[in-house]
Structure 1
Amino acid sequence: MAADLPLSLSDTIVALSTPPGAGAIALVRLSGPQAIALTDAVFAGKRLADQPGHTLHYGTLRDGERVLDEVVVSLFRGPHSYTREDVVEISTHGSDYIVQEVLALLLRHGARLAEAGEFTKRAFLHGAFDLAQAEAVADLIAADSALSHQVALRQMRGGFSRELKELRGQLVHFAALLELELDFGEEDVEFADRTGLVRLLQEVQALVRRLLRSFELGNVIKNGVTTVIAGRPNAGKSTLLNALLNEDRAIVSDVPGTTRDLIEDEVSIEGIRFRFVDTAGLRDTTDVVEALGVERTRQRVQQAALVVYLFDMTTTSPAELQAEIKALLLPAGVRVLAVGNKLDVASEDELAAFSNRPDTVLIAASRGDGLNELQQALLARVRVDGLEHTGASTIVTNLRHARSLEVASRHLDAVLVGLSTGGGTELLAADLRHALNALGQITGEISNDDLLTSIFTQFCIGK
């Protein structure tokens, strides 16, 4: 594989791998054929070239006679390192000045600054893991909940990749037989068992479609759910936001129209991140500022993934509620959860009007009554086709992967149609090649420089 690697891998790269800014420790990472020699040139301590990998060494970094810092050097020899190259990690004191001086010193000795994601790109190019696993590294770094961490870690360890490779491996065998038939086209022979191919394609297609369905949930896990709290003035929207966040984030007042701008904050419910948006009460108003707030509310409702429509049970009838939700003119696909507030002061008739409705949750936002039921109802609206968000099934979280699966599914359908209608071998083989190509692009078995550049430039510099 080394003969096919880019010339840039002959460079030794360096970057800061900890967040910029003052801190206790900063970590400067080098990778490449000269990583050890470059560090030896500026390190006063044991000669690193003589030391085994996976060892730590204390010493000082020197620019000529000037001591820059006392450091600890971690030594990793390829191929037993993250990039599969020689890697040196220098732990310095976390001063911006020290870090810049260390980087400048190493650059003067022949290193070059790493590009975004270049350490992980080198690991991929050296075969440490495939492209889907490499992308999971970025997801793991960005994980901000237990569930997003769990899904990213599972994918980084190859769960999704193994499933795809099994799928692709089964299809490759039949594709090879179809290609063989093309080579013997004049003899009119069939090497591929059509019945077996149909059965296999149906199984593969079922799995591809399950993976595609999981993307809706995976997107939620990775990016969170934008949830707009809408309703009339004084329905209790700001009170509900404060109760969900368990803090006084929004001003609460009996005066209608208090909330005139959007107030946003996030909360994690059983590992899924919800971004709640408190909005201005929906009503006709002559107040110019409040009218701007109402217009912003209507715009944000159109962009939401989920709308919590909060209404006052003591002043709203079921017919009025239905009309108000209809008036939101929500785009297709936006889920709505009706939430009746003031459970604590509602009469028996008012409670009876909204009780036992599967699309409605009743709460008392000021006391916190019904919040657990509300949270479970929110979670229920981001579950997909019975997939439990805590289950062990593979979940697709990456838009690029989902698009490739869509392409694969489309071509698998074309093959199945061709088989049922007696389509020619050449067309069957072409569609099967397209399906294999789409699956191969997910793991990087089929890739190009533009694709790799697009993916790895989304990483931080030191990763």
Structure 2
Amino acid sequence: MIYNDTIVALATPSGSGAVAIIRMSGKNAISIASEVFQSVSGKDLLKQKTHTIHLGTIVDGTKIYDQVLVSIFKNPNSYTGEDVIEISCHGSVFIQQQIIQLLLRKGCRMAQAGEFTLRAFLNGKLDLSQAEAVADLISSDNEASHQIAMQQMRGGFSNEIAKLREELLNFASLIELELDFAEEDVEFADRTQFHDLLNRIEFVLKRLIDSFAVGNVIKNGIPVAIVGEPNVGKSTLLNALLNEERAIVSDIAGTTRDTIEDELVIDGIGFRFIDTAGIRETKDVVESIGIKKTFEKIEQSQVVVYLFDSTEFVTSSSKFKIEIEKIKNQFPLKPLVIIGNKADKLTENEVILLKSEIENILLISAKEKIGIEDLKNQLLSFVNTGSLRNNETIVTNTRHYDSLHKALEEIQKVKFGLSSGIPSDLMAIDIRQALYYFGEITGEVTNDELLGNIFANFCIGK
């Protein structure tokens, strides 16, 4: 791939709108723009200062395409580190296509997915983890994922990794120096200080690795399966949570035959609710398939909500207790929220009985929307958002998680070698490997395949 030519792409979403932005980047961006732009005041774009905006028209000979605003960003003070031109035109799809085709005829090339951000990385404007955060920021759909992406894009994560890498690199240099004086049997690296550093690096790496469990669910949303027997109000509960008639509700048992999914943001955290088919013995072939899918969705979920009709508990308590224990035993690692629905129809004594028989039960009325806020608070309690409030670094990227794991393994090898008194040359191998995995995260260590995989997930124009 050639990265010194001039590229062009639509920077705003495709389709018609009020305004569209067409972006160019490369050494010829300003000269190409000057060929097709006529300023209303007769300005020459080639002579204008960086970070200025100019009103005029896009023309091809005598043909006028649109009245536009042209923004100039000269290297190195631009997003990509190259000369960048942004043309703000009217949002007609026809106008967008005509201007882009004109720029292509003038010498531009269509940008590939993420190529503007790739050039920003290659030109040192962003490190690799910051570049990846750009894609996360674009795709963020709740406050928590937005906050994490912003922190990473500002360099919070990469700064922490870079600092650890620099300290380890300093000690690695001293260890390598010892190898040059192996015959003199001298030690330049203070082993006590080195041991303390390794302990500190190990602690930070473990904290970052542990944060992935929180970061991953915040980034992708927390899947919550709503399960229970037919006609206990699962679809009504989903509608109450979403505050809309998303699922069909009827008095006929088995109405929901397939899973219904929808998302809800609660206090900045995304939850993906899955309304499943009722679990029961049935000879209906279609309903059986739905029940099979229910158990598949429970496997995929991170939280299980078991819903039952609380008015039937007095006469069928053992049945519900058996069902609750069955779910607990089948999915022991998943948080289970036990909900008694139709609680508005219970007597005071029945409420007392239910609370005494089932620990931590939530009593609600999905139809009357009673207890819905208690359920939302219960779901939020499963997410550790303390790290967000404390502005701690949270890992959300699987590639980072994998590199951190490998770096931790190498650091633990170095610690073992240090305590075992192995020769410096063997210890240096493990240190270099740990530095390699640190470098993979921030981009000191890259290859074309890695960059291709990362930036292929970006949108065109970014």
Q: Same fold (TM over 0.5)?
A: yes
Please report how far the alpha carbon of residue 31 of structure 1 lies from its aligned counterpart in structure 2 after TM superposition.
0.6
In structure 2, what is the equivalent of residue 334 of structure 1? 334
Aligned-partner Cα distance in 1 for 2:270–2:317 = 31
Shift of 1:388: 4.4
- The question of whether the paired residues in 1 share the 8 Å contact of 2:387 and 2:393 is answered with no
Q: Which residue identity lines up with residue 227 of structure 2 in the other structure?
A: A
My pick for the range that moved more, 328-337 or 273-282, is 328-337
Distance 2:317 2:444 in 1: 56
What corresponds to 2:371 in structure 1? 370
Instruction: Kindly report which structure 2 residues correspond to 1:40-439, keeping only aligned pairs within 5 A, or say none.
Output: 40-45=34-39, 46-316=43-313, 320-328=319-327, 330=330, 333-355=333-355, 359-383=360-384, 387-439=386-438
Matches of 1:318 and 1:352, distance apart in 2:
14
- Who is 1:3 aligned against? none
Partner of 1:4: none
Does the 8 Å CA contact 2:400/2:441 hold for their aligned counterparts? yes
Shift of 1:349: 4.8
The alpha-carbon deviation at position 354 of structure 1 amounts to 4.1
Deviation at 1:261, TM superposition (A): 1.3
Query: 1:373 is matched by which residue type in structure 2?
Result: D
Q: Cα distance, 1:321 vs. partner?
A: 3.9
Partner residue of 1:16 out of 6, 10, 14: 10
1:370 maps to amino acid: G
Matched position secondary structure for 1:104: helix
Task: Give the letter aligned to residue 265 of structure 2.
Answer: S
The CA deviation at 1:332 is 6.1
User: Quick one: distance in 2 between partners of 1:207 and 1:322?
Assistant: 43
TM-aligned CA deviation for residue 229 of structure 1: 0.5
Note if contact 1:415-1:428 (Cα within 8 Å) is conserved in structure 2: yes
Q: Does the aligned pair in 1 maintain the 2:232–2:309 contact within 8 Å? A: yes
Deviation at 1:273, TM superposition (A): 0.5
Q: Judge which range, 305-314 or 342-351, deviates more.
A: 342-351
SS in 1 for 2:70: strand
1:421 Cα deviation (Å)? 2.1
Q: CA deviation at 1:185?
A: 2.3
Q: CA deviation at 1:120?
A: 0.7
Q: What number of residue pairs does the alignment pair up?
A: 455
Q: Deviations over 1:354-386 (max 9, x none)?
A: 4276653222222222222211111121228xx
Compared CA separation, residues 44 and 358, structure 1 to 2 (3 A): farther
Q: With structure 2 as the length reference, what TM-score do the two structures score?
A: 0.94
SS at match of 1:10: coil
Asked whether the 8 Å contact 1:217–1:389 carries over to 2, the reply is no
Partner of 2:28: 34
Classify 1:333/1:438 alpha carbon distance in 2 versus 1 (closer, same or farther; 3 Å): farther
Report how far residue 181 of structure 1 moved: 1.9
Q: CA deviation at 1:224?
A: 0.4
Distance 1:421 1:308, change over 3 A: same
What is the distance in 2 between the residues matched to 1:379 and 1:84?
42
Q: 1:346, CA displacement in angstroms?
A: 2.8
Amino acid at match of 2:365: A
Quick one: which amino acid aligns to residue 27 of structure 2?
A: P
Residue 124 of structure 1 contacts residue 134 of structure 1 at CA under 8 Å; is this kept in 2?
A: yes
Output the amino acid matched with 1:21.
Answer: G
* Distance (whole Å) between structure 2 residues aligned to residue 191 and residue 445 of structure 1: 26
SS class of match (1:267): strand
Task: Report the aligned-residue RMSD.
Answer: 1.8
Secondary structure of residue in 1 paired with 2:237: helix
Which segment drifts farther, 26-35 or 289-298? Answer: 289-298
TM-score, structure 1 normalization: 0.94
C-alpha distance in structure 1 between counterparts of 2:189 and 2:353, whole Å? 64
1:455 is the counterpart of 2:449:
no
Separation (CA, whole Å) in 1 of partners of 2:350 and 2:437: 56
Query: Aligned to 1:285, what secondary structure does the other structure show?
Result: coil
Q: CA 1:388–1:240 in structure 2 vs 1: closer, same or farther (change >3 Å)?
A: farther
CA distance in 1, matches of 2:4, 2:449: 20
**Conserved? CA contact 2:230–2:279, under 8 Å:** yes
Against the structure 1 CA distance between its residues 319 and 168, is the aligned structure 2 distance closer, same or farther, given a 3 Å change threshold? Answer: farther
TM-superposed CA distance for 1:313, in Å, is: 2.5
Name the CA distance, whole Å, in 1 between partners of 2:310 and 2:82: 66
- CA distance in 2 between partners of 1:321 and 1:408 (Å): 48
Using the TM superposition, give the Cα deviation of residue 335 of structure 1 relative to its aligned residue in structure 2, in angstroms: 2.8
Rounded Cα–Cα distance in structure 2 between residues aligned with 1:242 and 1:72: 46
- Retained in 1: the 8 A contact 2:178–2:424? yes
Give the partner amino acid of 2:35.
Answer: A
Counterpart contact for 1:231–1:281, Cα < 8 Å: yes
Distance 2:308 2:202 in 1: 44
The CA distance in 2 between the partners of 1:158 and 1:440, in whole Å, is 15
Tell me by how many angstroms 1:119 deviates. 0.6
Consecutive unaligned residues of structure 1, counting only runs of 5 or more, are 1-6
Q: CA deviation at 1:322?
A: 4.6
- Whether contact under 8 Å (1:118, 1:456) holds in the other structure is yes
156-165 vs 375-384, which deviates more? 375-384
Change in 2 beyond 3 A, CA 1:436/1:70: same
Structure 1 residues 360 and 447: alpha-carbon distance in aligned structure 2, compared to 1, 3 A threshold: farther
Which region of structure 1 is more displaced relative to structure 2, 109-118 or 254-263? 254-263
The code of the aligned residue for 2:352 comes to A
Structure 2 alignment gaps of length 5 or more: none
Change (3 A) 1:362 1:422: farther
